[in-house]
């Protein structure tokens, strides 16, 4: 593997690697992607092999601009054009009816395809140089924390990727929002960097929210606690409120575990051998810091990470979703109730 900064010559080399069926990790404004030529099923198959990802788990195809959309999707509803116009390039992924020509390897055999135009100079330069769609999941091993720097990608994937374009740290640090426009009512499948409020503002109406992005959307798994964790550090993640965090820490310390706490405020009584992983005050800054901190928990060899849930405002919704999934809770009932309340309040 050859890490390169995102200069024009490097981008050309990366485009050549993609044309040859190779894998290129590249920065986006959200997280680093592990890219392959989306029209080349063998290249796409390598993504699944490297990530250890189940083959029915579909990928996002990254495009250079909204003009390419009809090469991949058909029957694009008005809402699709409105959202693309408002948020592309940007951290929004649209799920649309696919063109028959989209390889099954990309969509996991679904009749829909996920598309987005990323807002990062290196990603856009790569897309322009390559000239086609780049299929790219986050550049981490399946189930683990998404990488937000080139160094993270190297740690995750080592020599399994042919080339890493280094664009520094991802400015947002949490994945795109995914909106499904393939059925009558738009649905948020994964909360992310574009908030529900922003989406409703553009669409002029409410959206249906699924607390969970199912692996196979037609067969969602809805058993709280039964899901494998995603976005997860090695440490067991325990969700807490500010009020009960100290009690949770104590419980796990007494079981002889190496414990850390992820919180924006230092707990008043912090035992000596418990590590405080601090989050900044603002919610956007917390999104930027979250995955960095989860990786730090790994580097420190923590066994348990007590995470104080951020407030459910703006990006906080996506942060809470990621922490729930890191804890293996998926779409727990609490999250669903919160979402229903938001819809009811017309937010």
Residues of the shown chain interacting with ligand TXA in the complex, contacts defined by CB under 6 A:
28, 30-31, 33, 57-60, 91, 93, 95, 107, 110, 112-114, 118, 136-138, 175-176, 178, 189, 213, 217
138, 176, 195, 286: which one binds Mg ion (CB under 5 A) = 138
Task: Indicate whether 149 belongs to the interface with Mg ion (CB under 5 A).
Answer: no
Closest-CA residue to 152 (of 142, 162, 166): 166
Question: Can you give 80-98 as a three-state secondary structure string?
Answer: HHHHHHHHCCCCEEEEEEE
**β-strand pairing of 134-135 with 60-62:** antiparallel
What DSSP letter does each residue of 92-140 carry, written as one string?
EEEEEEBPTTS-HHHHTT-SEEEEE----HHHHHHHHHH-S-EE--BSS
Which one of Mg ion, ligand TXA, none interacts with residue 277, CB within 5 to 8 A by kind? Answer: none
Query: Which residue's Cβ has the minimum distance to Mg ion?
Result: 138
- Nearest approach, Cβ of 96 to ligand TXA (angstroms)? 8
* Cβ neighbours for 345, distance < 8 A, ≥ 6 positions apart: none
Choose the one of ligand TXA, Mg ion, none that binds residue 59, judging by a C-beta under 5 to 8 angstroms depending on kind: ligand TXA
**Residue 164 interacts with which of Mg ion, ligand TXA, none, CB < 5 to 8 Å by class:** none
Stretch that binds Mg ion, among 11-19, 61-69, 131-139, 339-347 (CB under 5 A): 131-139
Q: Which is nearer to Mg ion, 138 or 149 (CB)?
A: 138
Question: Which of Mg ion, ligand TXA, none does 113 bind, CB closer than 5 to 8 A by kind?
Answer: ligand TXA
Taking a C-beta distance cutoff of 8 angstroms, is the pair 190, 177 a contact? Answer: yes
* Pairwise CA distance, residues 8 & 55, whole Å: 33
Shortest CB 163 distance to ligand TXA, Å: 16
Q: Are 207 and 95 in contact (CB under 8 A)?
A: no
Partner whose footprint covers residue 28, from Mg ion, ligand TXA, none (CB < 5 to 8 Å by kind): ligand TXA
- Closest separation in Å from C-beta 137 to Mg ion: 5
Binding partner at 112 among ligand TXA, Mg ion, none, C-beta below 5 to 8 Å by kind: ligand TXA
- How many C-beta neighbours within 10 Å does residue 87 have? 24
CB of 106 to ligand TXA, least distance (A): 8
**Burial class of residue 192, CB neighbours in 10 A (0-12, 13-18, 19+):** buried
CA distance 154 to 135: 19
- Of 100 and 345, nearer to ligand TXA (C-beta) is 100
Q: What is the DSSP string of 154-207?
A: HHHHGGGSSEEEE--S-SS-SPPEEEE-SSSS-EEEE--SS-HHHHHHHHTS--
Nearest to ligand TXA of 218, 273 (CB atom) = 218
Rounded to a whole number of angstroms, the minimum distance from the CB of residue 103 to Mg ion is 19
Cβ 217 to ligand TXA, closest distance in Å?
A: 5
Nearer to ligand TXA by Cβ, of 118 and 310: the residue is: 118
Partner in contact with 110, chosen from ligand TXA, Mg ion, none, beta carbon below 5 to 8 Å by kind:
ligand TXA
Q: Which residue is nearest to ligand TXA (CB)?
A: 137
Question: Between residues 236 and 322, which has the closer beta carbon with respect to Mg ion?
Answer: 322
In the bound state with Mg ion, the residue whose beta carbon lies nearer, of 34 and 117, is: 34
33: three-class secondary structure by DSSP:
strand
Nearer to ligand TXA, 246 or 331 (CB): 331
The minimum distance between CB 138 and Mg ion, in angstroms, equals 3
Where do we find the tokens 């959309």?
A: 69
CA trace torsion 284, 287, 288, 292 (10° rounding): 160
- Whose Cβ is closer to ligand TXA: residue 42's or residue 104's? 104
Q: What angle do CA 314, 32, 4 make, to 5 degrees?
A: 145
The site for Mg ion (CB under 5 A) is made up of: 138
């Amino acid at each position: 593997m050859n890490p390169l900064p995102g200069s024009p010559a490097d981008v050309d080399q990366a485009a050549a690697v993609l044309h040859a069926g190779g894998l290129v990790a590249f920065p986006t404004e959200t997280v680093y992607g592990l890219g392959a030529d989306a029209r080349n099923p063998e290249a796409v198959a390598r993504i699944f092999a490297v990530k250890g990802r189940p083959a029915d788990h579909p990928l996002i195809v990254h495009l250079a601009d909204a003009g390419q959309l009809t090469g991949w999707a058909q029957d694009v509803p008005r809402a699709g054009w409105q959202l693309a116009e408002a948020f592309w390039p940007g951290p929004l992924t649209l799920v649309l009816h696919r063109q028959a020509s989209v390889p099954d390897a990309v969509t996991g055999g679904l009749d829909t395809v996920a598309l987005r135009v990323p807002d990062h100079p290196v990603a856009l330069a790569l897309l322009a140089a390559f000239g086609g769609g780049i299929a790219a999941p986050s550049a981490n091993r399946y189930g683990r924390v998404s990488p937000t720097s080139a160094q993270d990608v190297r740690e995750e994937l080592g020599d399994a990727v042919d080339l890493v374009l280094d664009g520094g740290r991802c400015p947002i640090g949490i994945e795109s929002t995914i909106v499904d426009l393939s059925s009558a009512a738009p649905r948020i499948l994964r909360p992310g960097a574009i908030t529900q409020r922003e989406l409703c503002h553009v669409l002029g109406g409410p959206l249906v929210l699924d607390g969970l992005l199912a692996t196979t959307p037609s067969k969602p798994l809805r058993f709280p606690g039964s899901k494998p964790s995603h976005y997860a550090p090695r440490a067991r993640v325990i969700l807490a409120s500010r009020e009960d965090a100290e009690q949770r820490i104590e419980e796990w310390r007494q079981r002889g575990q190496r414990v850390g706490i992820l919180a924006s405020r230092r707990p008043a009584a912090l035992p000596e051998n418990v590590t405080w992983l601090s989050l900044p005050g603002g919610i956007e800054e917390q999104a930027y810091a979250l995955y960095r901190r989860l990786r730090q928990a790994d580097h420190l060899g923590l066994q348990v990470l007590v995470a104080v849930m951020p407030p459910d405002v703006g990006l906080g919704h996506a942060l809470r979703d990621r922490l729930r999934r890191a804890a293996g809770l998926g779409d727990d009932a609490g999250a669903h109730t919160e979402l229903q309340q938001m819809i009811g309040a017309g937010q």
